[in-house]
Structure 1
Amino acid sequence: MWFNKESDKVINELSSNLINGLSSSEAKSRLEKNGLNKLQGKKKKTMLQLFFSQINDVMIYILLIAAIISFAVGEVSDSIIILIVIFINALIGVIQESKAEKALEALKNMSTPKALVRRDGNTMEIPSEEVVVGDIVIIYAGRYIPADLRIIESANLKIEESAFTGESVPSEKTSAVINEDKEVPIGDQHNMAFMSTLVTYGRGVGIAVNTGMETQIGKIAKMLDEEEDNTTPLQKKLAQLGKTLGFAAVGVSIVMFIVSMFQGRDFLEMFMTSISLAVAAIPEGLPAIVAIVLALGVQRMIKENAIIRKLPSVETLGSVNIICSDKTGTLTINKMTVKKYYVNGEVKNLENIDIKNNETKLLVEGMALCNDATSNDGVQTGDPTEIALIDVGNKVNINKEDLNKDHKRVNEIPFDSDRKLMTTVNKYDSKFNVFTKGAIDSILKISNKILVNNKIEEFTKDKKDEVLNASNLMSDSALRVLALAYKPIDNEHVAIDDLEKDLIFVGLMGMIDPPREEVKGSIELSKKAGIRTIMITGDHKNTAVAIAKELGIANDISQAMAGSEIDSYSDEEFTKIVNNYRVFARVSPEHKVKIVKAFKSYGNIVSMTGDGVNDAPSLKAADIGVAMGITGTDVAKGAADMVLTDDNFTTIVKAVEEGRNIFNNIKKSIIFLLSCNLGEIVALFVAILLNWPAPLLPIHILWVNLITDSFPALSLGVDPGDEGVMELPPRNPNESLFSGRMGILLIMNGILIGATTLFAFVLGEYLYPESLRHAQTMSFVVLSVSQLFYSLSMRNETKSLFQVGVFKNKWLIASLLFGILLQFAIISIPFTANIFKVYSLGLKDWGLVILISLVPFIINEIIKIFTKK
């Protein structure tokens, strides 16, 4: 029981150190001994278990029965082929499933919460899974507790523990010992913090006393051990579609078998053909293909700085039509930057700064010396406003460290929010300069002179009005304005009260957190894609509108609303007017939820960004919650669907584009597979109805199904993104996969593939009337090769193959060539030709079957010419 021990004793018992923490070597040793700090989930399936799960299917069982029957009646080759097809199919499934699992595991690791610990005397952030017993853990509002901790230090610390206590009110925590020898309920252990709970207020330091399965939550891990359902809405739809197709395929096969029996055909052959057709008609590889396309897409997004935490978000991204974005750090660079300055009666751009000018040099020096921040070689500390002032000096080679050495600070009056001023006294040779910086109105009150062109003049009312006009001009551009005044004094022993009197006004500097350069293009791209960008910020309305104008989000201040104005409307009233606004300024987290709900009430798919603890409700309320990876709290990341590792708005737009392309690729694979399967049904069913000889043997159907359902379909799933995808409106999430032209294309291409297969068979019978095997071989080759060529036309619904780039999808080209090579090998090698009961085609035959196989591809390309959007 750690709660009844003094914190010093706990630290000693765990061989740790409050100041330095553990050493890296000791932490590594403890990690190896006790294992990762995570809850043990269900054991992963072995490769063998994965393999058997692939053949645990009713249709596979039917195939196995068919193989046994074939073997029993002496059709050994058919039996072997069926078993080979089953094995290869299962193997491909195993590879796809394990790939998807690895990709999802990598994704899970990317989104693991971080912990702040002391190691080797330094404070560092590590994955929470690497926390070990004895680690000194720093906690503050917004952080998840990474392990069970004994609190050592606390300041207004409150932790939300409802998962353990059921209490909705956060528990107050202190480091005081609990003098009880008996067990104390978790809710009353005020000096303990438990894994997976959330710090909602204050800060503290704790020592890890239990990790992983030894934690309180570890003791109830079985309750959390349910396997998470990562199935996306699309996958669920496809599973239902698969069942429907399964029933339909079995129905067609039964009808075909019954008809063939009335026609007096061979029972065993037709039994095998019916089973093969039923198996081929069901795209059993589709769920695996969808899973792997989603997983690979998610991996691509990680490289683009977007971590998808929940797979369904990938589908939702393609439907987003409103992006609500924070301003600071997301639309802007999150760094105050001086843009303009004022000396000698002129407002100038910083790019044109002339340090040779005496007033300008004094302004830069004074702003750097009257300053408590640091900024040197990219390492910065202090207030962002003060850092911006120092960076002006860095730009013109006036380094603050050098200034401090040359002009030592001998006295100061710290900044005060009531005075809105800061003053320092710095040594200049044998004299001293008093520098005062602050708000323009405060500086004007204490200045009675002004420095103009190296002359000190009276600071008349007219001159003060000129300075005020310059300040207002900067403010209208949303710049934050700071003024500088000075005065020389003979010695440092001037009374404090006299330092901020009778100053000489020098000039002004105006700064802003500027927009990211790349964001304007991303917002323009979003507009083309039918996506509205809404700026939501805690900043003032004028500043927000200035940035919004520059980025093309809003045109004028009438499109902006402040949080106080939002409060004046009821939810219903606000919903009616929300579409009139593009900027919401001075908003609270509660306002964000109201804004999201108002936009969603119109059927919009809304993305919302956030980084704070209080942003969690709005992130959850949005269709896609986006957390900041750099500045975001663990709470925000936990509530979000997507985490930006670079906190950049452009990344959201890229993720939307990637989401659209992923969905389109999945759609291509689905339509391709279903068209091919329909083609096989058409070819066989029509031939049986017309009482023709079977154009295909059972092993032909299974083989074609194998080579088209695997590599070409998967290659379409990873097709390079369509460059024009962001010129189309967002996808309706309720829209069917077969809406628009897709349903028509599916049926049309199914009939085309079936018709070309039958044509090849009839042509074979005509050219070689004495050889049914010759005709069947031609139809067999056409069925497989036409599907391979047809995959090329599936790359884009409206653009021709030559527009999208013939060799852009190298995987698809490789799949096509590999498929044709396999087909050639099967009919040309005597051993395989005998097994597949095919005829070795001559050059003329190959020319004919290639031409016939190109028909579906050519027709699709011609249709695109006449139906361009």
Structure 2
Amino acid sequence: MAYNIPEHLKGLNQDELTRSRKRFGYNQMDATHKSSWLEMLVDILKEPMLILLFAISIIYILVGDYGEASFMLVAIVLVSAISFYQDNRSKKALEELEKLNEPLSTVIRNGQVLKIPTHEVAIGDLCLTEEGKIINADGKIVHSNDFSVNESSLTGESLSVFKNAESEDNQVYSGTITVSGLAVFEVEKIGKDTRIGKIGESISTIKAEASPLQLQITSFVRTMAIAGIIVFLLVCSFNYYQSRDLLASLLNGLTLAMSILPEEIPVAFTTFMALGSWKLMQQGIIIKRSSIVETLGSTTVICSDKTGTITENTMQLKHLYDYQNDKTYDSNTFNTPTLHNLLSYAMWSSEPIPFDPMEKTLHQVYQQTQTKDLRKAYTLFHEYPLEGKPPMMTHLFENEAKERIIAAKGAPEAILQVSNLNELEKKKVRAIIAELGKQGYRILGVAKSSFQGNDFPKKQQDFNFDFLGLVVFYDPPKAGINAVFQQIYDAGIKVKVITGDNVDTTRSIATQAGIRHTDKSIEGKDIIRYSDSDIEQVAEDHVLFTRMFPEAKLAVVNALKRKGEVVAMLGDGVNDGPALKAAHIGVAMGNKGTEIAKAAASLVLTNDDLSKLITGIAAGRRIYSNIKKAIQYIISIHIPIILTVSLPLFLGWVFPQIFTPVHVIFLELVMGPTCSIVYENEPMEKNTMKAAPRRMSDTFLNWKELAISVVQGIIITIGVLFAYQITVQTGSSEEKTRAMVFTTLIFANILLSLVNRSFYYSIFETLKNKNRLLTGVIIVTLIILFAILFFKPFSTFFAVSSLDISELGIALGIASVSVLWFEIYKLIKRKRT
């Protein structure tokens, strides 16, 4: 956008900028602490699993088993490396998101207007702010044009304040919002020295609330950890009672505790959310906090603005209705002299430096059609900003000869209400408005007034206005928007259109865009009069909400939330801020959205493409589904490990300690990457976007899902213990028995990771879905397994003997029966649905 900036405003040059930066630093609060790699490593070493490994290593050293102790130390390095890799990957993804979420500031440097990251604003910089922007430093106004600012974040006063370079108070402050016009200010204070910086803590110190899924997972892991402590104490006591060997009892207890602890789950959750956000960022969807990914998949209602979201926001001037000669003109005849008055007053009622697409168009058409351009001859000296229900705005200009222009424009109903037309004349104009509205046009009324003296009315509605006519814009629906809404409906998501436009225009555009049930509509002024329960009913029943203002938008969003809906609110303007903040998912437009909208939103679509929201919802559903698969896999595979470690001991079988910590930690090293790396990379199942959204109140595993995982785990346990018994029955040694049990469990683990890729589609169907990480993990696991079985140093260390082809076949057969029965369950499930 080109700015009409006075030539004398040059700003800092490079040398001045360097000196300023060296003396005063960067425009940021005390930098939030970022963990170094050493701190990350220390945090990892505090994890319960690592503490258990350290304890087991110490016991092995005490009993003189240095080989086992060395393996435990190697395991500590491996577990730490995997955790470090995961944490670092998540941290880098979140840092990338943080960079993208930083707002840009507009500055003048060396006479050039530049956009820079806000933290680079320096003392002495000339900053430029305009309507809808957040001011990012404290400073003194040096140039302004129709500038007003909302300072409620500092003063609590909600009304905007007009300021200029000559005002008694010509200061602007960081954190305040530009309501209208434009200002250039010289930066005097930055970072923690600003007024808002001294008031309290930076917003970055506010802790983000844990999401429902986070709370559920934390509770589950805590429960399992408590269970692990109780079982540890029981096993230690039982073993010590039998053997009177304290170190051996501790070792057995720690082995079992290690098998119970599901430390993979929180790691998996963090990884899924951070990498999910990072992948969405690469597709032009900026997530402000990673936990919002979880909520995206639960979206049940999308509340969309019309202009710029459903439509192109191009605002072509299609028609002019001149009241004086009662005639409607199309764009080919705008040069007609009789239209000059209407066109010029429409332009004068716009901002001198236009921000809104309609006002930009009016300025362009004025320039193209007027024989004499008077814009430089007149100065805006008084203004009534856009307000009222429905809204209107009035501008007062004056030239050196003290000749005045008083121009107003706004919603046609607002302009008709304040004009001097009688009721019959108003009725005639309303009929024209209705006819144009049905064709999807955006219509504004234009009026003029005259006033002597400077004792202006407090309200613009108190001027005596002459009605001039209508300016008629067409903002066509975006290409391909019908397909987008079809996808939304297919996903079981409802659509509401919430706009400031009138009902006829909104209905026409909504119908063209493929939005359903557009017959019922309601206006903001009616909504605000209803009780909360009535608004809930209206919000549920209606699709079109027209002539909406901030309070009405907020009321609808809150009503939908009370009804249990998960609400995604799309908006780009200052007026959308409260509703964006209140919605579960506030979605701002990246190109045409104001900074207020972006600051209030939790998600930004960088190219203003509504289809990207569908991509985000699909990603949310995929990630949530994959988290569940990962957790169900963890539960299912932990059960046979726990029972294989404990049952031989409690039942007094011939080889009570069939698994030692060495075997358990190897299984943990296989399971960790499988659940958090492999399942995170799992593609979305087909028809995921044809299903209804899940309820936010649902737990990550309901009783049925938990029961399925437990049953899977128990049947695998039966298979593993069956392998134990048939090997013992043939008179095999402890090493051979351990090899059979260990191999059967590894095979079962591999098959389970394949089967649990879907709880609906068959394994043959899911094998078509490419996941190279899964293939890689399976190959590496099998290589290590065969190395343990057939490479003498490894088999000696793991206390196993080699298996022949028939024994490997038996292990694979038992594992297959133990796992693949689930395919029959899935087949029955598919046939039922």
Q: 2:606 aligns with which of 645, 665, 676?
A: 645
Q: CA deviation at 1:584?
A: 0.9
CA distance, structure 2, for counterparts of residue 813 and residue 118 of structure 1: 55
**Corresponding residue number in structure 1 for 2:582:** 621
Alignment correspondent of 1:66? 56
Rounded Cα–Cα distance in structure 2 between residues aligned with 1:339 and 1:260 = 88
For residue 628 of structure 2, the aligned residue among 663, 667, 673 is 667
Residue number in structure 2 paired with 1:295:
274
Distance 1:366 1:531 in 2: 49
Paired residue type of 1:145 = I
CA-to-aligned-CA distance 1:455-503 (integer Å, 9 cap, x gap): xxxxxxxxxxxxx999998764324699xxxxxxxxxxxxxxxxxxxxx
User: Are residues 1:735 and 2:698 paired?
Assistant: yes
Q: 1:587 maps to which residue?
A: 548
Of the candidates 41, 63, 67, which is equivalent to residue 77 of structure 1?
67
Could you list the per-position Cα deviations for residues 377-421 of structure 1 after superposition, in whole angstroms to 9, with x for gaps in the alignment? xxxx99967999999x9xxxxxx99xx9xxx9867999xxx9xxx
1:201 and 1:25 mapped to 2: Cα distance? 34
Q: Would you say the 8 A contact 1:786–1:855 is kept in 2? A: no
* 1:215-271 deviation digits (Å, cap 9, x = unpaired): 445557766674744743322322221111011123234334444456559764453
Mapped partners of 2:374, 2:101: distance in 1? 46
State the secondary structure of the residue aligned to 2:140.
strand
Q: Separation in 1 of the partners of 2:596 and 2:150? A: 11
SS at 2:821 equivalent: helix
Counterpart position of 2:130: 140
Q: Which amino acid aligns with 2:691?
A: L
Amino acid in the other structure paired with 2:526: E
Distance in 2 between residues matched to 1:826 and 1:233, nearest whole Å: 42
Query: Which amino acid is 2:9 matched to?
Result: I
Contact in 2 for aligned 1:792/1:857 (Cα 8 Å)? no
Q: How far has the Cα of 1:142 moved from its partner?
A: 2.5
Question: How far apart, CA to CA, are the structure 1 residues paired with 2:355 and 2:78?
Answer: 63
Q: Report the identity percentage.
A: 29
Structure 2 length as normaliser, TM-score?
Answer: 0.79
Q: Structure 1's 608 and 556: CA in aligned 2 closer, same or farther, altered over 3 A?
A: closer
User: 1:800 matched to which residue of 2?
Assistant: 762
Give the aligned partner of residue 50 of structure 1. 40
Which of 102, 116, 120 aligns to 2:106? It is 116
Q: Which is worse superposed, 222-231 or 781-790?
A: 222-231
How far is the alpha carbon of 1:510 from its aligned partner?
9.1
Q: Residue 627 of structure 1 aligns to a residue in which SS?
A: strand
The SS at the match of 2:677 is helix
- Which amino acid in the other structure matches residue 55 of structure 1? L
Which residue matches 2:798? 836
**Number of aligned residue pairs:** 732
1:330 matched to 2:292: no
1:601-657 per-position Cα deviation (integer Å, ceiling 9, x unaligned): 211111112222232211122121112222222222111111121222222222122
Q: Give the distance between the partners of 1:164 and 1:581, measured in 2 at CA.
A: 38
Residues 92/850 of structure 1: CA separation in 2 closer, same or farther (3 Å cut): same
Hey, what does 2:264 align to over in structure 1?
A: 285
Shift of 1:301: 1.5
2:612 aligned partner, one-letter code: T
Q: Which residue of 1 aligns with 2:413?
A: none
Q: Does residue 710 of the first structure (1) align with residue 673 of the second (2)?
A: yes
Match of residue 754 from structure 1: 717
Deviations 1:174-209 (A, max 9, x none): 43487xxxxxxxxxxx33333333334553211123
Cα-to-partner distance string for 1:787-820 (whole Å, 9 max, x where unaligned) = 1221112212211233234451211121121122
Query: Partner residue of 2:689?
Result: 726
Q: Could you report, residue by residue, the CA deviation over 1:75-97 in whole angstroms, capped at 9, with x for unpaired residues?
A: 11221122222221122112211
Query: SS of the counterpart of 2:91?
Result: helix
Which residue does 1:676 correspond to in 2?
637
Q: Contact between 2:235 and 2:252, CA under 8 Å: does it hold in 1?
A: no
Aligned equivalent of 2:482: 520
Distance change (3 Å), C-alpha of 1:616 and 1:382: closer
Report the TM-score, using the length of structure 1 for normalisation. 0.76
Offset, 1:728: 1.4
State the distance in 2 between where 1:251 and 1:281 align.
11
Structure 1 contact 560–585 (Cα < 8 Å) conserved: yes
Alignment-derived partner of residue 403 in structure 2: none
Residue matched to 1:321:
300
How far apart are 1:765 and its partner, in Å? 2.4
Cα gap change, 1:75/1:591 in structure 2, threshold over 3 Å: closer, same or farther? same
Residue 763 of structure 1, CA deviation: 3.0
* Match status 1:539 vs 2:501: yes
Partners in 2 of 1:564 and 1:165 — Cα distance?
Answer: 29
Work out whether residues 782 and 852 of structure 1, in 8 Å CA contact, stay in contact via their aligned partners in 2. Answer: yes
In the TM superposition, 1:142-157 aligns within 5 A as 142-155=132-145, 157=147
Are residues 1:864 and 2:799 paired?
A: no
Cα 1:65–1:611 change in 2 (3 A) is same
**Does the residue aligned with 1:677 lie in a helix, a strand or coil?**
helix
Q: How far, CA to CA, are the matches of 1:750 and 1:34 in structure 2?
A: 62
- For residues 551 and 42 of structure 1, do their structure 2 counterparts lie closer, same or farther at Cα, with a shift above 3 Å needed? closer
Conservation of the 8 A alpha-carbon contact between 1:695 and 1:758: no
Q: RMSD of the TM alignment (CA)?
A: 4.0
**Which residue of structure 2 aligns with residue 690 of structure 1?**
651
Change over 3 Å in CA distance of 1:712–1:667 after alignment to 2? closer
Paired with 1:470 and 1:624, the residues of 2 have a C-alpha distance of 39
C-alpha distance in 1 between matches for 2:355 and 2:43: 59
- The one-letter code of the counterpart of 1:818 is V
Structure 1 residue 138, shift from structure 2 partner: 0.8
In the alignment, the residues of structure 1 paired with residue 756 and residue 732 of structure 2 have an alpha-carbon distance, to the nearest angstrom, of 38
- Is the CA contact 2:297–2:624 (under 8 Å) kept in the aligned structure 1? yes
Distance 2:151 2:442 in 1: 42
Tell me if structure 2 keeps the 8 A contact 1:230–1:311.
no
Contact 1:212–1:218, Cα closer than 8 Å, also in 2: yes
Within 2, Cα distance between the matches of 1:364 and 1:167?
44
Structure 1 segments unaligned to the other structure (5+ residues): 1-15, 179-189, 342-358, 374-380, 394-399, 419-467, 483-508
Superposed, 1:43-442 pairs within 5 Å as 43-58=33-48, 60-155=50-145, 157-161=147-151, 173-176=163-166, 190-218=169-197, 226=205, 228-229=207-208, 231-261=210-240, 268-336=247-315
Aligned to 2:382: none
Aligned CA distance change for structure 1 residues 481 and 64 (closer, same or farther; 3 Å)? closer
CA distance in 1, matches of 2:131, 2:359: 26
